[in-house]
Amino acid sequence: MMKSQRSWIFAALIGIIILVLILPVNAANSSIDAGVKNQFLYQGQLVDERETGPGLAPAHWAVNANTPDPTVASTSITVPAMNWVYGCSATSATMLFGYYDRNGYPKMYTGPTNGGVFPLTNAAWGTGECPLTASHKGKDGRTTKGHVDDYWYATDSTADPYYSHWTQHSPLDSVGDYMGTNQYKKWHNTDGSTTFYFNSNGAPLYDYTGSESASPAKRDGAHGMKLFAQYKGYTVPTNGVYNQYINPYKSNGFTYAQYKAEINAGRPVLIQVTGHTMLGVGYSGTNQVILHDTWDYSGHTMTWGGYYAGRQHYGVTVFHLNPATTTAQIHGKVSNSVTGAAVPGATVSIKGRTTTSDSSGNYIISGLTPSSGNTLTATKTGYYKYTKTGITLAANKNLLSNIPITPVASTGVYRIVLTWNAEPRDLDSHLITPLISGSTYHIYYSNRGSLTSLPYAHLDQDARYGYGPETVTIQKHYAGTYKYYVYQYAGTGTLSSSKAKVLVYRGSSLLKTYNVPTTGSGYYWRVFNLNGGTGAITTINTISTGPQGLSPGEVSAAADTEVKKSSTDSADQQFALPPGL
């Protein structure tokens, strides 16, 4: 054989070998795991492509099965649990992002539900719905088409309803948008499915983007998670997102010890089983994973590397975030301090930032500079202005601060509003009436009075968990002296450190403002006397250890032997302001 012929044959053989190595290998090949859709070389390494989903619960599956054994020591983190929302992978990723929203990354979810904080289940939006997973017109206040409207047709469908009919929504705003879930025209994922890529040898595959320019284009779901976090203003560290086969599925894969380390660090992990994605939130025993399976709101267990609902555990998706930038957020609900009803349309302001409470009374203000000594205000026509001082906005925290605002009284009607800080947690308003039709009345939490009969004075709320307000209304006033004082019923700290304030209104006019004295000790704060005949107010404003200026009958219920508050009375808790997260 001539030398030129040998060279030609050798070159042809090399070309055939290269061609075989670079062409995708069909998953029907018996040497490849049945869950692998394609296999190909990428930067010299064999990569597996897995299309995961839809991940619906099998027909025989028993809800709340495989729950953790309470007798076995376990470690877990509190992570939202969701039922399936237009694809198991996006649902599991949403639980992860919902967890971070509640733990220092408050921009992940900024909708109106739950005061802008992602809830612990998706029940508020109805079965199979979550705007963070897949935005949907008519859900969570959305008035335009979203992910579901544009991409969803039916399970396993290749149809994208928007295609050739309307322009898809912009900007992309849900987890499924960025992961490529349900998007067949752009990312070749059927309805309910998401694609993930793995190094075949068991090594981690970091932030894979190699198939986005292929034909058809494909997106790795883990990379999509990174893009979603960036859309929300957060960053992912180098090598902070990756897919990896597990040990024992691959001998050099991600280990159970590594999984436990992620949980101990407060980081949930996506658990990949054949055709389905779940979220690992804890561990127990020597080899058990505690997980949310996207089929109910319970925690479940699975043996590491074993099977769940007949699906083999083969891999994980690990996701890390860089520390959030130092911003703060405040949220809460504006409610009527007299009736407890939500107050929509109230203007809420802090640090020069303003928003309006929604139809459910909820408000949220994000992107605030961490600082202390801030003032929160709320105004609305028909209500007195609400002011709360001394607010601390902590870095990467979402402060809960509910706002009870008081409706303006009718002409001639008095309203006395008491507010204070978190501690002492329970301050009580007390009003002693003058003699009315032969009787003196003591208005306080155990005898709230009435506005429609004698004494025509009433305590609207008994706030027992800090801040107030407690509002006393005098509908009709009689000649003689009304005596108003505050008693410290419970809690740590003192009256003098409580930052308590009393506002006295008549109709729409603010008559007096009293700040608790910063000197003096005791449980009684005598604030003022009101002459019911002339309207004259006599200032007292002193703290004392005893009921000076009150007769024994007027303080019988305010002393240490006063009527105890029922521990089962939760009506007041609805309007209390928790001190924060």
Q: What are phi and psi of 442, to 5 degrees?
A: -115, 110
**pTM exceeds 0.75, yes or no:** no
Boundary (domain end) residue, out of 289, 319, 349: 319
Q: Are 299 and 340 contained in the same domain?
A: no
Report d(CA 276, CA 35) in Å as an integer.
10
In a domain, 236, yes or no: yes
Residue 553 binned pLDDT confidence (cut-offs 50, 70, 90): low
Sign, CA dihedral 483-484-490-496, equals: negative
Q: What are the start-end ranges of the H helices in 410-476?
A: none
pLDDT number for residue 546: 80
pLDDT digits (tens, 9 = 90+) for 71-127: 778 899 999 999 999 999 999 999 999 999 999 898 899 999 998 999 999 999 999
Report d(CA 408, CA 471) in Å as an integer.
12
The predicted model gives 345-356 an average pLDDT of 94
Domain count for the chain, please give it: 3
In a domain, 36, yes or no: no
pLDDT number for residue 16: 42
In a domain, 130, yes or no: no
Report d(CA 181, CA 221) in Å as an integer.
8
pLDDT digits (tens, 9 = 90+) for 400-432: 888 989 899 999 999 999 988 888 999 999 999
Q: Are 268 and 347 contained in the same domain?
A: no
The CATH number for 110's domain is 3.90.70
pLDDT digits (tens, 9 = 90+) for 273-286: 999 999 999 999 99
Q: Are 502 and 570 contained in the same domain?
A: yes
Q: Which tokens belong to 385? A: 């202005």
Q: In what order do the strands lie in the sheet with 449-450?
A: 449-450, 457-459, 470-474, 414-419, 501-506, 509-515
CB-based burial label for 572 (10 Å; 0-12, 13-18, 19+): middle
Contacts of 506 (CB under 8 A, 6+ apart): 409, 412, 413, 414, 415, 535
Q: Look up residue 174 and give its amino acid.
A: S
The predicted model gives 299-328 an average pLDDT of 92
Which element (helix H / strand E) includes 185?
helix 184-187
The predicted model gives 377-384 an average pLDDT of 95
pLDDT number for residue 555: 60
Contacts of 499 (CB under 8 A, 6+ apart): 389, 390, 420, 421, 515, 516
Residue 547 binned pLDDT confidence (cut-offs 50, 70, 90): confident
Report d(CA 157, CA 168) in Å as an integer.
18
Q: Are 508 and 524 contained in the same domain?
A: yes
Q: Are 379 and 421 contained in the same domain?
A: no
Q: Are 297 and 437 contained in the same domain?
A: no
Checking if the pLDDT of 27 tops 70, the result is no
Q: Are 333 and 278 contained in the same domain?
A: no
The CATH number for 388's domain is 2.60.40.1120
Checking if the pLDDT of 579 tops 50, the result is no
Query: Distance of alpha carbon 157 from its chain centroid, rounded?
Result: 33
In a domain, 50, yes or no: no
Q: Are 378 and 419 contained in the same domain?
A: no
Q: Are 341 and 264 contained in the same domain?
A: no
Q: What is the mean pLDDT of the chain?
A: 87
Which element (helix H / strand E) includes 377?
strand 371-379
In a domain, 24, yes or no: no
Range of the domain at 114: 74-121+193-319
In a domain, 60, yes or no: no
Report d(CA 197, CA 48) in Å as an integer.
6
Boundary (domain end) residue, out of 284, 319, 354: 319
Q: Which tokens belong to 48? A: 């597996």
The CATH number for 554's domain is 2.60.60
Report d(CA 158, CA 155) in Å as an integer.
9
pLDDT number for residue 463: 84
Sign, CA dihedral 210-215-220-225, equals: positive
How many C-beta atoms lie closer than 10 Å to residue 457's C-beta? 25
In a domain, 554, yes or no: yes
In a domain, 148, yes or no: no
Q: Are 243 and 115 contained in the same domain?
A: yes
Q: Are 394 and 537 contained in the same domain?
A: no
pLDDT digits (tens, 9 = 90+) for 215-259: 999 999 999 999 999 999 899 999 999 999 999 999 999 999 999
Q: Are 265 and 359 contained in the same domain?
A: no
